[in-house]
Amino acid sequence: MEEYRLHTLPNGIRVVHKQVPHTQIAHWGIMLDIGSRDEQPHQQGLAHFWEHMAFKGTQKRKSYHIINRLETVGGELNAYTTKEKVCFHASLLASHSDKAIELLSDITFHSIFPEKQIEKERGVILEEMAMYHDSPEDAIQDDFDELVFQNHQLGKNILGTAESVRSFGRNDLQTFIADNLDTERIVVSLVSNLPFNKAVKQAEKYLYDLPHSTSQRIRTSPSIYVPQTLRVARGMTQTQVAMGRPAYAMMDEKRLPFFMLINLLGGPGMNSRFNMTLREKYGLVYSIEATYAPFLDTGF
């Protein structure tokens, strides 16, 4: 049996399926090749704002009904935004699989972005920004990204700025989606005990009639890296340090060996080289880790 199977709908959407016979859970995801790097300077934070607003009302559902649709059958619904992707996903019993892909399709492609909900969610996101600002681990990562990628959009905060978030309206959301949505760059995935043909039928039921769309979007690559140092004084008793540089892109053949190296040096295990030396041997730190984030044309 093949591990993964692929089916492409007439509109270009790809359906990827993996059957796991022993599980009773179905996990659906709709991944769109749209992220914060695709924003214009005045749109900073708009992809993340869209992620939030997708839960606030569609042509046939209000926010309350979206939230409760899967929870009433023990399921979970969530989403996340990265610099290159927006993903809506759900997990629930496989016997209710159809409910998940129907709801995900609805919030992804048929949201109406009610003005009252936009005002309310604006405050929620501003509080989210304040939360990350108060977290030294997150704040230093934001500063690091900006130094590595300088003025490129990859270096900008996914959440945006307080000024940009306060400026967004329904038209901004609709324009951003229209400019970037490309059905040939959408992947729908399912992991469950359902057979491949049933997975395809469920996806086709809600996505087959979605019109084919293309985007003329062009992603520019970051400029040549110039080493820099930044020191920020904050009212803390602990010092946070981040060091790094650009690394291999997503499709580079050296990516997987590099992942392994980073994991050996500072992965999540207590026996990483960094942890064993700097914490266990010398007692110099409380926590230390190494990470690698590959993108389409670069990484760090």
Q: Which residues are catalytic?
A: 51
Residues in contact with 253: Cβ distance below 8 Å, sequence separation at least 6, in sequence order = none
8 A C-beta contact, residue 192 and residue 137: no
Rounded CA gap, 61 and 69, in Å? 10
Give residue 114's identity as a one-letter amino acid code.
P
Cβ atoms within 10 A of the Cβ of 9, count?
19
Residue 297 CB burial class (10 angstroms; 0-12, 13-18, ≥19): middle
Q: Residue 54: which of 125, 124, 119, 104 has the closest Cα?
A: 104
CA distances from 163 to 43, 114, 122, 159 (A): 10, 21, 11, 11
Rounded CA gap, 247 and 71, in Å? 41
